[in-house]
């Protein structure tokens, strides 16, 4: 089972939408998908629970981190939903190692049941965020094209406790950063300038789609994406022309991410 962690130390970047739509995409390709929501805001849980193809487990992610290893439903697309008290875990430092060990044990237990696990994290570096990076195999970081988000890349990489580089060097040597994925990108001069500002110093962190044309993966701003999340729908299944157009723009990025994870789709 491949494990992908979605992480950004800033909220409102559309991380949940990307996670849900990528999960739908993999499921559509015949992959057995497990989705674990570690965010107390539960945006992913709320969206996925509306989709009839997704089976919600009775086990919540806070119970999982508490050491419960209840069996998951025998389904090909399973959600372990979040819980609004997840934010309290940071205030229990004596249990932090236990949370990490519980997540690791759970992932090992379900390894043969799924092809891929997607973990959506909360937008602040705490023990939930750390547990996901410590146990994950791949890291994808959606960002917005504004100066605050661009400046925040340093936190993702170099946070003194939970930075990607520290965790990879000291704890989880197999964690691979797939890259940063600009989201909510608009075709405006301001955004184009921000995209250029992002590419110049961080090109090695971008996800390359077309090496010859130097095209990088990004997710455009499209109302159809927000509509899909509100409906709990897979964008590619929606009948609206706007949804089909948005999916054509997004699909190449998802294909490259899946390939980087060595998932045959």
Tell me what pLDDT residue 13 has.
66
Give me the pLDDT at residue 77, please.
Answer: 98
Q: Is pLDDT at 213 greater than 90 in this prediction?
A: no
Q: What structural domains and CATH numbers belong to the chain? A: 2-260 (3.40.50.300)
Pick 5 or 182 by higher pLDDT.
5
Evaluate if residue 11 carries a pLDDT over 70: no
What pLDDT is recorded for position 148?
A: 74
Query: Which position has the token pair 């704890």?
Result: 171
Q: How many other C-beta atoms lie within 10 A of the C-beta of residue 57?
A: 20
User: Rounded to an integer, what distance in angstroms lies between the CA atom of residue 145 and that of residue 253?
Assistant: 17
In a 10 Å sphere around its CB, with 0-12 CB exposed, 13-18 middle and 19+ buried, how is residue 77 labelled? buried
How does pLDDT run across 153-193, given as a tens digit for each residue? 888 888 888 999 999 999 999 999 999 998 877 777 777 77
Cβ-based burial of 1 (10 A; exposed 0-12, middle 13-18, buried ≥19): middle
Q: Where are the alpha helices (DSSP H) in 66-146?
A: 96-109, 127-135
CB within 8 Å of 80: residues ≥ 6 apart: 34, 35, 36, 37, 57, 59, 60, 61, 64, 72
pLDDT at 227 over 90: yes
pTM across the whole model: 0.94
The pLDDT of residue 153 is 82
- Range of lowest pLDDT (1-15, 43-57, 90-104, 192-206): 192-206
pLDDT of residue 205: 86
Q: What is the mean pLDDT of residues 198-227?
A: 83
- Average pLDDT of the residues of the chain: 90
Q: What pLDDT is attached to residue 186?
A: 74
pLDDT digits (tens, 9 = 90+) for 87-137: 899 899 999 999 999 999 999 999 999 999 999 998 888 999 999 999 999
**Which of 195, 186, 129 is CA-nearest to residue 163?**
129
Q: Report d(CA 175, CA 141) in Å as an integer.
A: 13
Residues 35 and 64: their CA atoms lie apart, in Å, by 13
Q: What is the pLDDT of residue 150?
A: 72
Residue 203 has pLDDT above 70, yes or no: yes
Least confident stretch, 82-86, 106-110, 146-150, 201-205: 146-150
Tokens of 46: 């709320």
Task: Assess whether pLDDT exceeds 80 at residue 19.
Answer: yes
């Amino acid at each position: 089972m491949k494990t992908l962690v979605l992480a950004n130390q800033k909220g409102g970047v559309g991380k949940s939408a990307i996670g849900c739509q990528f999960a739908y995409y993999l499921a559509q390709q015949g992959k057995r998908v497990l989705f674990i929501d570690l965010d107390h805001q539960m945006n992913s849980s709320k969206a996925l629970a509306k989709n009839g193809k997704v089976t919600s487990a009775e086990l919540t992610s806070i119970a999982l981190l508490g050491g419960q290893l209840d069996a998951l439903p025998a389904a090909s697309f399973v959600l372990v939903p979040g819980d609004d008290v997840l934010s309290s875990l940071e205030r229990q430092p004596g249990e932090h190692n236990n949370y990490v060990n519980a997540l690791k044990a759970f992932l090992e237990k379900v390894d043969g049941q799924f092809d891929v696990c997607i973990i959506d994290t909360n937008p602040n570096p705490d023990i939930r965020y750390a547990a996901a990076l410590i146990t994950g195999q791949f890291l994808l970081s959606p960002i917005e094209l504004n100066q605050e988000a661009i400046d925040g890349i340093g936190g993702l990489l170099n946070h003194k406790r939970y930075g990607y580089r520290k965790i990879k060097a000291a704890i989880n040597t197999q964690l691979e950063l797939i890259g940063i994925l600009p989201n909510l990108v608009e075709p405006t001069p301001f955004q184009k300038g921000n995209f250029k500002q992002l590419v110049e110093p961080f090109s090695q962190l971008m996800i390359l789609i077309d090496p010859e044309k130097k095209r990088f993966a990004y997710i455009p701003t499209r109302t159809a994406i927000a509509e899909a999340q509100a409906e709990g729908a897979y964008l590619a299944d929606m009948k609206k022309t706007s949804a089909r157009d948005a999916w054509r723009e997004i699909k190449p990025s998802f294909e490259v991410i899946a390939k980087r994870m060595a998932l045959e789709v």
